[in-house]
Amino acid sequence: MVELCGLELAHPIINGSGTFDAIAARRAFGEQLLERFPFAAFVSKTVTLTPREGNPPPRLWELAGGLINSIGLPNKGLAGFLAEDLPQLAELPVPVIVNVMGFSRQEVAELVQACSARPEVAALELNVSCPNVETGLVMGADPDELARLLARVRPLTDKPLIVKLTPNASDVVAVARAAQDAGASALSLINTLRGMALDPRSGEPWLGGVTGGVSGPAVRAVALAQVHAVCGAVQLPVIGMGGVQRGRDALDLIRAGARAVAVGTESFRDPAAGDRVAAELELLSASADGAQLVSPQPF
Amino acid sequence: MVELCGLELAHPIINGSGTFDAIAARRAFGEQLLERFPFAAFVSKTVTLTPREGNPPPRLWELAGGLINSIGLPNKGLAGFLAEDLPQLAELPVPVIVNVMGFSRQEVAELVQACSARPEVAALELNVSCPNVETGLVMGADPDELARLLARVRPLTDKPLIVKLTPNASDVVAVARAAQDAGASALSLINTLRGMALDPRSGEPWLGGVTGGVSGPAVRAVALAQVHAVCGAVQLPVIGMGGVQRGRDALDLIRAGARAVAVGTESFRDPAAGDRVAAELELLSASADGAQLVSPQPF
Amino acid sequence: MTAPLGRRGARITARERYGAYVVLRCADADGPTPAAGQFYMLSCAAGWGGGEGERPFLPRAFSVLRACPASAPLELEFLVEDVGPGTRRLSELLPGEELLLTGPFGAGFRPPHRGRRPLLVGGGVGLAPLAIWQDQLGPDTTALLGFRDAMHAPGAELMSAPRVATEDGSAGHRGLVTELLAAELEADPQAEVYACGPPAMLEAIRALCAELELPAQLALESGMACGFGACFGCVVPTREGYVRLCLEGPVLDAHLLETAAVAGAGH
Amino acid sequence: MTAPLGRRGARITARERYGAYVVLRCADADGPTPAAGQFYMLSCAAGWGGGEGERPFLPRAFSVLRACPASAPLELEFLVEDVGPGTRRLSELLPGEELLLTGPFGAGFRPPHRGRRPLLVGGGVGLAPLAIWQDQLGPDTTALLGFRDAMHAPGAELMSAPRVATEDGSAGHRGLVTELLAAELEADPQAEVYACGPPAMLEAIRALCAELELPAQLALESGMACGFGACFGCVVPTREGYVRLCLEGPVLDAHLLETAAVAGAGH
Ligand SMILES: Cc1cc2nc3c(=O)[nH]c(=O)nc-3n(C[C@H](O)[C@H](O)[C@H](O)COP(=O)(O)OP(=O)(O)OC[C@H]3O[C@@H](n4cnc5c(N)ncnc54)[C@H](O)[C@@H]3O)c2cc1C
Ligand SMILES: Cc1cc2nc3c(=O)[nH]c(=O)nc-3n(C[C@H](O)[C@H](O)[C@H](O)COP(=O)(O)OP(=O)(O)OC[C@H]3O[C@@H](n4cnc5c(N)ncnc54)[C@H](O)[C@@H]3O)c2cc1C
Ligand SMILES: Cc1cc2nc3c(=O)[nH]c(=O)nc-3n(C[C@H](O)[C@H](O)[C@H](O)COP(=O)(O)O)c2cc1C
Ligand SMILES: Cc1cc2nc3c(=O)[nH]c(=O)nc-3n(C[C@H](O)[C@H](O)[C@H](O)COP(=O)(O)O)c2cc1C
Ligand code: FES
Ligand code: FES
């Protein structure tokens, strides 16, 4: 059992926002999805105030040990999400965390208020990787900008408010401190690193969205550094993520200070990755010296 | 032939600072190194004012498609470098670019002045990834800090002054613009991404230097995004680097706007990687539609 | 058919070359029998990575070429053309080695409308979903197959009595398979077209069928990371907006599409 | 011996198992004959990546076990113990497949001081540089080898008439090879020790020889990315500061070291 800002989780492994669509997965895998749901909590894909189609394809580019995505946050918008998706998500056997993003403080406020009013929602996660259209600043890259956002929206809900930090910041620790001071309940990191790919034929940007976000094992070491730095600087519980494939990767993030760990890209390779990572982690943690299991052949 | 702020290069491929020690390589490979030197210019490892032993080992950790290093800039210091190393580097068949780093503006000024006075030096590269001990700011992560540094040191040399940017910045374009406005001759990017690894046995930081820098194919997409963004914003010639393994990777950086391309980590795997990348690049560039060569089996 | 939750291993039981193609047969002990037109996400248990550009990393999408439910365990066949690091590694697999798979995923072919004669049209590896569909519709079902050249033409052996076009004239009609199709449709206005192949070919077929007002079911491709709706990466534009091809497809009704030339698909 | 500039291919010509170890033999057409104690950086031409944690990525350092300059082309042998993704992949290589290598690199063993009797002491894969050294010094050269258990003891077959210790007593002396060494040195104060093995063993040997004031040459290990002085990653602390083991070693004079227990080395 893991306690994460009031939520009781059966184990520390949850999904990264936007990397598992429980409703689609139920179509693909049927009811066994509910019987063996791979995560201890479900985090929704980012919900915005108005519906979004997302970016034009191509949206993916494979990298050494990872991929770039330029999905562009397609979603039904707040009203559509609350009416159609949330009731279905409520059937999952785990707490539902709704990830939201707004392009202004007012938008975020509306999202937080509306989601908070719904009993199916166990917690909110704020995606602050986008620019505030009013100030031009990326909400999560500037400590003051983030403080002002949280000052506006924190009072609007009693539910846990998790802030998901962007890794594309000069000083992620300063942003984390600002989030703590402004009343965040927890932090999650890392979101994707800004990256790009060119079409080998034309030399033009491959992705419809021109740039995209890098995820997967390629970012694991960057994630670990940021989680370690943030956990050393704040008291808030932290959800660590970035390139987790194995129990050992989750153990690293926990050793760096994370309370819970999210699996993202690895679920694309193995839809039951969350489950597998949780089992491997338990095995590692159970052994007095977890690490021995990692290196099966000490000389 | 490629012109890079006044230097005539036989081809666009040079080495990344700190990833090829021409003096050591001559010991390992003998005189053939001079006959088939793999790079069109040689960039020295970072030279500091006083000698440095570097970080305690372990200094390396392998990643998915890359590695983290925490070498810690071991070097003989300015005087030792100028007395012992520079004369040997002058025997190389290519122009020598000296990479320097100081922990205060005064230190950088001394380094620039002393190196600039030596005829063996074709150009200087400023490594601005370290904090200014006087201001606490990473010189290359803050536009104003960098502008003040260049205002101090730019007047001290007539030689090309290349500024090597750090990728660990919220807004690398702003830093690049500041470098251009303050008189930089060229920019080079990316340096390594901040990363970390834990000892699987103890759970303690693996690297003697605790954190380190991530390089190799794992950072390629991040490098391309930064080079693309910077080249779209400044007129200066840019040396692109980060994860280059093949001619195609170099071509991507050139298509993104780079004038020259540096090979770093790949030289560890193949000491003649510079040569190979240059040859592959030439082949790709020679074909009218370079890309066709990349995808040998269009349906 | 819904898929088992999670990735599973499947031992390679046979590997055969057909010119430029490799057919892999594997034993999928834990999987259900797939429908024609469904696909699987494949990777190798060992050595998945370290190729060109340090790839592959993600699994790769493959239509099921053939399913042998009679055999116990269920055997599946896949048709692989080496076009990059993923297909290269897969086509090197030897009997006894292990494939990793998820699936079957997606929506396959629907039976022809009442009174319509199914007509299968494929280009290159696009024959894969048509082969299993022909297995179900019957060996007499007309199949038109297009190949680039003599290296690829042996793919025709994988279907029953296909009519073949090759671009270099090395086998069958010299030219495009769409030329065969045009002639066929002229002769038979009651056809319902089932097609799979490169984007340009599918688009030509879509346009032709639209003009003749014939129903067509097109098995499309797009870059896929997951295959089960998780990544939103595989969308294709339709008259109803973007749809995730792995969920709503890979077989789509032609009339849903303004174009079958999907950005980033094909090679 | 200086190395050819650049990485080259070398075809595997034989592969043999010795308990937990694999000996790979390859034809190095373009390489010079290495000196005993030198090493190569090895990787595989295909499938280098995609193992545990998506590794390996960097080449791996291997002492040359044996060189057969008489054969044309030159044949090299390497001894591999599977301890992680790189050694796993290498130990799966089959005859006909291609190894990529750079080297020979580093400084090997120096001949014994005048009047000194060479005494070779190895632990596990540490026997590799001692085998080629024994080839040169002569088959009578005393060799003491330590192994963990019965799975590893077959490594002893790779040297001429070694005396063996195993930790589990499955072969030879039950205990540590350093116990054999202590007895040997007591009997012969004219020895010069050549040793290679895990850090703890080397440190015990260093301390013993220092106490007895005997010369010793120790072949160390450390994490290496390049092997030719480019990365500064392989440093070990010595009385003269950090030295790059790939350039100044891997064989170091014991008196240069305060300790032979190198951080990050061994497994
Ligand atoms: C539903 C479906 C069914 C399919 N069925 C079959 C089948 O039965 N048989 C078969 O052989 N193939 C089939 N394919 C195609 C197959 O999945 C691709 O050929 C395969 O994924 C290519 O992978 P690769 O690593 O070999 O080549 P890649 O290099 O990954 O892909 C080739 C093409 O992808 C693009 N590309 C190049 N580099 C990258 C990169 N880094 N990231 C992303 N894209 C890149 C380019 O357009 C290139 O031409 C199917 C695809 C789909 C979607
Ligand atoms: C000069 C020299 C000569 C050698 N000669 C031989 C020889 O003849 N035969 C032989 O079998 N071996 C030899 N070795 C050792 C061999 O190079 C290593 O065993 C090999 O590099 C291990 O690689 P791996 O991928 O199998 O395991 P890894 O997992 O890379 O390494 C095993 C150890 O490295 C550490 N480690 C774990 N993960 C990582 C990581 N991500 N990055 C860095 N380190 C990590 C841990 O300490 C682990 O126990 C020699 C080494 C040197 C330096
Ligand atoms: C295809 C894709 C879509 C994503 N969508 C979202 C999203 O909608 N909202 C969000 O906060 N993070 C999103 N992420 C980021 C992930 O939640 C996670 O932070 C990141 O991928 C790092 O974890 P990983 O390396 O395990 O994937 C997305 C990542 C991927 C790969
Ligand atoms: C082991 C190592 C040492 C490095 N040392 C330096 C250095 O001394 N100065 C510097 O400016 N960059 C240094 N770098 C950064 C490289 O020059 C280069 O910017 C970076 O590695 C990205 O390129 P790559 O992915 O091709 O290696 C070093 C990189 C590595 C891997
Ligand atoms: S492939 Fe991931 S959503 Fe379709
Ligand atoms: S291994 Fe790179 S310097 Fe020694």
For the CA of C227, the closest atom of ligand 5 is: 1
Residue D94, chain C, CB below 8 Å: the answer is no
Q: What is the pLDDT of residue A99?
A: 98
**Alpha carbon of A16 to ligand 3 centroid (Å):** 6
What percent of chain B stands above pLDDT 70? 96
Regarding the beta carbon of C232 and ligand 5, being less than 6 Å apart is answered yes
pLDDT at D149 over 80: yes
Helix (H, G, I), strand (E, B) or coil at D94: coil
Choose, out of C38, C48, C58, the residue to mutate when testing the contact with A (most A CBs < 10 Å): C58
In this complex, the residue of C55, C222, C230 whose CB is nearest that of residue A25 is: C230
pLDDT at D234 over 80: yes
Q: What are the φ and ψ backbone dihedral angles of A38, each rounded to 5 degrees?
A: -75, -5
d(CA C6, CA C26): 18
Summarize chain C as % helix, strand, coil (round to 5).
25, 35, 45
Provide the pLDDT confidence category of residue A206 given band limits of 50, 70 and 90: very high
Gyration radius of chain C over CA positions: 17
Regarding the beta carbon of B46 and ligand 4, being less than 6 Å apart is answered yes
d(CA D36, CA A152): 71
Provide the pLDDT confidence category of residue B292 given band limits of 50, 70 and 90: very low
In this complex, the residue of B200, B226, B289 whose CB is nearest that of residue A248 is: B200
Provide the pLDDT confidence category of residue D20 given band limits of 50, 70 and 90: very high
What mean pLDDT comes out for the span D223-230? 98
Contact between residue C167 and residue C190 where contact means Cβ atoms under 8 Å apart: no
C47 neighbourhood in chain D, CB within 8 Å: 46-47, 49-51, 89
Q: Is residue B189 part of a domain?
A: yes
d(CA D54, CA B217): 12
Gyration radius of chain A over CA positions: 18
Say how many domains are in chain B: 1
Q: What is the DSSP letter of C145?
A: E
**Alpha carbon of D205 to ligand 2 centroid (Å):** 22
State which residues form the domain around B258: 2-55+73-193+215-292
Contact between residue B250 and residue B214 where contact means Cβ atoms under 8 Å apart: no
Q: What is the pLDDT of residue B299?
A: 28
Provide the pLDDT confidence category of residue A297 given band limits of 50, 70 and 90: very low
* pLDDT tens track for B84-120: 999 999 999 999 999 999 999 999 999 999 999 999 9
The ranges assigned to domains in chain D are 8-105, 117-256
Q: What is the pLDDT of residue B170?
A: 85
Among D residues 202-261, those touching chain C with beta carbons less than 8 Å apart: none
Taking the C-alpha atoms of C197, C200, C202 and C204 in order, what is their torsion angle to the nearest 10 degrees?
Answer: -140
* pLDDT tens track for B153-210: 999 999 999 999 999 988 999 999 999 999 999 999 999 999 999 999 999 999 999 9
pLDDT at B291 over 70: no
Q: What is the pLDDT of residue B61?
A: 98
In this complex, the residue of B68, B141, B295 whose CB is nearest that of residue A200 is: B295
DSSP β-bridge partners for residue B124 = B98, B161
Q: Candidates C40, C42, C105, C228: which one to mutate for ligand 5, based on the most atoms within 8 Å of Cβ?
A: C228
Provide the pLDDT confidence category of residue A289 given band limits of 50, 70 and 90: low
What mean pLDDT comes out for the span D48-61? 96
Q: What is the pLDDT of residue C83?
A: 95
Q: What are the φ and ψ backbone dihedral angles of A145, each rounded to 5 degrees?
A: -60, -45
**Alpha carbon of D51 to ligand 4 centroid (Å):** 25
Q: Alpha carbon of D218 to those of A287, D37, D113, D156: distances in Å?
A: 35, 10, 15, 19
For the CA of D85, the closest atom of ligand 2 is: 25
Regarding the beta carbon of C233 and ligand 5, being less than 6 Å apart is answered yes
Regarding the beta carbon of A241 and ligand 3, being less than 6 Å apart is answered yes
pLDDT at B131 over 80: no
Q: Is residue B137 part of a domain?
A: yes
Active site residue B130: yes
- Kindly state the tokens that stand for D73: 């082309």
Regarding the beta carbon of B19 and ligand 4, being less than 6 Å apart is answered yes
**Alpha carbon of D62 to ligand 2 centroid (Å):** 9
B42 neighbourhood in chain D, CB within 8 Å: none
Q: What is the pLDDT of residue A296?
A: 33
Helix (H, G, I), strand (E, B) or coil at D241: strand
pLDDT at A288 over 70: no
In this complex, the residue of B201, B221, B295 whose CB is nearest that of residue A201 is: B295
Contact D267 A297 (CB under 8 A): yes
What percent of chain D stands above pLDDT 90? 93
Give ipTM to 2 decimals: 0.96
* pLDDT tens track for D27-54: 999 899 999 999 999 999 999 999 999 9
Q: What is the pLDDT of residue B102?
A: 95
Contact B294 A65 (CB under 8 A): no
Fold designation for D117-256: Rossmann fold (3.40.50)
Contact D53 A245 (CB under 8 A): yes
Q: Is residue A210 part of a domain?
A: no
Regarding the beta carbon of D220 and ligand 6, being less than 6 Å apart is answered no
Regarding the beta carbon of A263 and ligand 3, being less than 6 Å apart is answered yes
What mean pLDDT comes out for the span D213-234? 97
For the CA of B69, the closest atom of ligand 4 is: 1
For the CA of C235, the closest atom of ligand 5 is: 4
Nearest-CA distance from D111 to chain B in Å? 21
pLDDT at A135 over 50: yes
* pLDDT tens track for D64-112: 999 987 778 999 999 999 999 999 999 999 999 999 999 999 999 999 9
What percent of chain A stands above pLDDT 70? 96
Q: Does C8-105 carry CATH code 2.40.30.10?
A: yes
Q: Is residue A97 part of a domain?
A: yes
Q: Candidates B13, B15, B19, B128: which one to mutate for ligand 4, based on the most atoms within 8 Å of Cβ?
A: B19
* pLDDT tens track for A18-65: 999 999 999 999 999 999 999 999 999 999 999 999 999 999 999 999
Q: What is the pLDDT of residue B289?
A: 53
d(CA A64, CA A220): 12
DSSP run (H or E) holding C75 = strand C75-81
Helix (H, G, I), strand (E, B) or coil at D68: strand
How crowded is the C-beta side of A23, counted as CA atoms within 13 Å?
A: 14
B255 neighbourhood in chain A, CB within 8 Å: 198, 203
Cβ–Cβ pairs < 8 A, chains A and C: 138
Q: Candidates C40, C62, C148, C228: which one to mutate for ligand 1, based on the most atoms within 8 Å of Cβ?
A: C62
Summarize chain D as % helix, strand, coil (round to 5).
25, 35, 45
Q: Is residue A240 part of a domain?
A: yes
Contact A298 D267 (CB under 8 A): yes
Q: What is the pTM assigned to this prediction?
A: 0.96
* pLDDT tens track for A149-183: 999 999 999 999 999 999 998 899 999 999 999 99
Q: The domain spanning residue B25 has which CATH number?
A: 3.20.20.70
Q: Is residue B201 part of a domain?
A: no
Provide the pLDDT confidence category of residue B294 given band limits of 50, 70 and 90: very low
Which residue would you say has higher pLDDT here, C202 or B297? C202
Regarding the beta carbon of B212 and ligand 4, being less than 6 Å apart is answered no
Q: What is the pLDDT of residue D267?
A: 53
Regarding the beta carbon of D250 and ligand 2, being less than 6 Å apart is answered yes
| Full pLDDT tens readout for chain C, 267 residues | 799 999 999 999 999 999 999 999 999 998 999 999 999 999 999 999 999 999 999 999 999 999 987 778 999 999 999 999 999 999 999 999 999 999 999 999 999 999 999 999 999 999 999 999 999 999 999 999 999 999 999 999 999 999 999 999 999 999 999 999 999 998 888 999 999 999 999 999 999 999 999 999 999 999 999 999 999 999 999 999 999 999 999 999 999 999 998 877 765
For the CA of C234, the closest atom of ligand 5 is: 4
Contact A63 B224 (CB under 8 A): no
User: Distance of alpha carbon A124 from its chain centroid, rounded?
Assistant: 11
User: Which residue is it, tokens 């000069």?
Assistant: A170
Residues of C in CB contact (< 8 Å) with B are 49, 53-54, 81-83, 123-124, 148, 198, 266-267
Taking the C-alpha atoms of D51, D57, D58 and D60 in order, what is their torsion angle to the nearest 10 degrees?
Answer: 20
Q: Alpha carbon of B106 to those of B113, C122, D179: distances in Å?
A: 11, 71, 59
